[in-house]
Chain A
């Protein structure tokens, strides 16, 4: 089966369509807009039995989405970047309501300076919101992850919303062959949404999102959320097994690429991991024992799986497509935290920052990562954070600065 050629955005829309979403509140933002355009068309034509509503902002969009899920509807929505940040207050409310829904985020770097191209500072700003996070590498994985996300979110042991993340431009607008599950197959995989503990109705009134006085009830409910999020690891395992059985495609919380005998491991996420894999193949061709660990589930954080995958490695390099100013790479911190206390540590844990604002990651940059990680391991001393930035890029930037800078005594006429 070759599949149909489609963009990551269309694959996301197909995920919502196949899941039989009831309700789609929407708001346009680049590079996500193609998703809601496709869904609007399908709702209009009757191809989807869902209500599509254009809201007045992402803040309102997420409020409507969460409120509808809390009422008992299966809800899908999508956003990017500034839109996600505008709605972020509401993300915390929705997870607190324990209202499961699926939000696709099409990653785009944050202003300022304003740009359209991707990095992961947007989605990682939501990492502590109580939303679970699945980060996809391919268009096929996008549609599959949306379906898996509904099953995980709606599981009674979880009852939390999920973000499925894909990279703007590099995946959102890239066509790849996608095998679409049939509605019959999906019906076998994803049970209808009939929540036992949610829904407003006349015969069973209840109050949701109420105030609490003091830290005792607050701590209790927040901890319940944490436990539910942790349950998602086991629920993901079951869901992945069921998915593989029905569709023949396997997704774990992490993906290892040529890890078996790898001495040094590069840790990455999302679409640029495809480039990382090509770089691993090239390095392998030169006889270097390197591999790649792709982080797929970021929340809950699959600490055990990561520890196991990195156990006994010589060097570990984390390539963050994000930057926490004054700190470094966000995922590096999380990897370092979960390796602390391991009996056998990697000889060097290295932090690289690359691909910010959609900046390319060239073969040379990957080679630099492998070289520097091997050297660091030999010295038994971690390095970083190191910003990946090539000489041609530096020259280009210098030229731009020259254009932007007033040279000499250029004065404006009064």
Chain B
């Protein structure tokens, strides 16, 4: 069964109005910011963004903010708890008649993979467990980006970071597999989880439109193709994001009440096409071709999609 978009069928249906205004201090070609820009077209302006320490902390720098909505910077480890406080306070103030319903806001956590995959796990787990009505937007650039690309639990096997360098002992650089945060979230049984990528705007907008109908924790994992950290030209972000999906490395999917659907089935281009574009994988190609590492990555992708095909065909 193919996934059908209901709200966003054509690119023209994406609203032209911008809610994240240009001129921020983020890097040119930031895939995370492009995902957020698209997401905000559905989220609108009646939003309070609750931010964890990361690249996006540089969005609101006194006296500027790119948002027409509100912003609260918290800490690296507790943005979901900040969302809890804001959501609960809004609910209490509205219930007590101290705030008109028309003043209500959506509460959206903005966290990078460093915060999301590790430090904020306790507060995220707690917020999902409590059924908090909020959005969680993780911009995943697969490393601690704001500090200059160090290994995070989201860094994929074979990627070079400044704290998982390529060496004689570790010719493939990062040896760990990327932590599966999607499945960690799913184990908490939230009503809505999705992965998105900026090169697939209709898929992204449709998912935010679907989530808008859901009360409870709504979690988004956004591929944040990162020219500064992944080492490619900023103009290539759309191509890198596209190949992440087309190689099958970044599956586009959603889970509604725990039931997973892949929203786009790629033809599985060879992973080299994606890896070759990025400096963080250059050591897999030169000075010697690391066939073993590339085969390992391809093998993981193949195994993943075999499981998907089995599960979703028989399911």
User: Which residues of A does B touch, CB under 8 Å?
Assistant: 22-23, 25, 49-51, 53, 55-57, 59-61, 63-73, 75, 89-90, 93, 97, 194, 199-203, 205-213, 217
In the complex, chain B residues 58-93 whose Cβ is within 8 Å of any chain A Cβ: 58, 60-62, 65, 67-75, 77-86, 88-93
B15 to chain A, nearest CB (A): 18
Contact B88 A23 (CB under 8 A): yes
| A208: chain B residues within 8 A (beta carbon) | 70-73
| B105: chain A residues within 8 A (beta carbon) | 200-202
Interface size of B in residues (CB-CB distance below 8 Å):
48
Cα distance, A66 to B92, chains bound together (Å): 15
Indicate whether B215 reaches chain A with its CB closer than 8 angstroms. Answer: no
Shortest Cβ distance from B45 into A: residue: A205
| A200: chain B residues within 8 A (beta carbon) | 48, 70, 72, 86, 90, 105
Contact B81 A207 (CB under 8 A): no
Indicate whether B138 reaches chain A with its CB closer than 8 angstroms. Answer: no
Cα distance, A56 to B78, chains bound together (Å): 10
User: Inter-chain contact count A-B, CB under 8 Å?
Assistant: 164
In the complex, chain B residues 93-112 whose Cβ is within 8 Å of any chain A Cβ: 93, 96, 98-99, 102-105
Q: List 26 A-B contacts (CB under 8 A).
A: A23-B85, A25-B81, A51-B88, A55-B84, A56-B81, A60-B81, A60-B122, A60-B126, A63-B85, A64-B85, A65-B85, A66-B82, A67-B89, A70-B85, A71-B90, A73-B93, A90-B74, A97-B72, A202-B104, A205-B69, A207-B65, A207-B70, A207-B71, A208-B71, A208-B73, A210-B73
**15 more CB-based (< 8 A) A-B contacts, given A70-B72, A73-B92, A211-B61:** A25-B81, A51-B91, A55-B126, A56-B123, A60-B81, A63-B75, A63-B82, A65-B85, A66-B82, A67-B84, A68-B86, A71-B93, A208-B71, A208-B73, A210-B60
Indicate whether B177 reaches chain A with its CB closer than 8 angstroms. Answer: no
| B123: chain A residues within 8 A (beta carbon) | 56-57, 59-60, 63
Indicate whether B179 reaches chain A with its CB closer than 8 angstroms. Answer: no
| B72: chain A residues within 8 A (beta carbon) | 67, 70, 97, 200, 207-209
| B89: chain A residues within 8 A (beta carbon) | 22-23, 67-69, 71-73, 75
Cα distance, A16 to B68, chains bound together (Å): 36
Contact B90 A90 (CB under 8 A): no
A62 to chain B, nearest CB (A): 8
In the complex, chain B residues 200-224 whose Cβ is within 8 Å of any chain A Cβ: none
Contact B78 A210 (CB under 8 A): no
| A51: chain B residues within 8 A (beta carbon) | 88, 91-92
- The listed residue (B62, B67, B74, B122) touching A67 by CB distance below 8 A is B74
Shortest Cβ distance from B69 into A: residue: A205
Indicate whether B50 reaches chain A with its CB closer than 8 angstroms. Answer: yes
Contact A211 B93 (CB under 8 A): no
B68 to chain A, nearest CB (A): 6
- The listed residue (B46, B61, B88, B96) touching A202 by CB distance below 8 A is B46
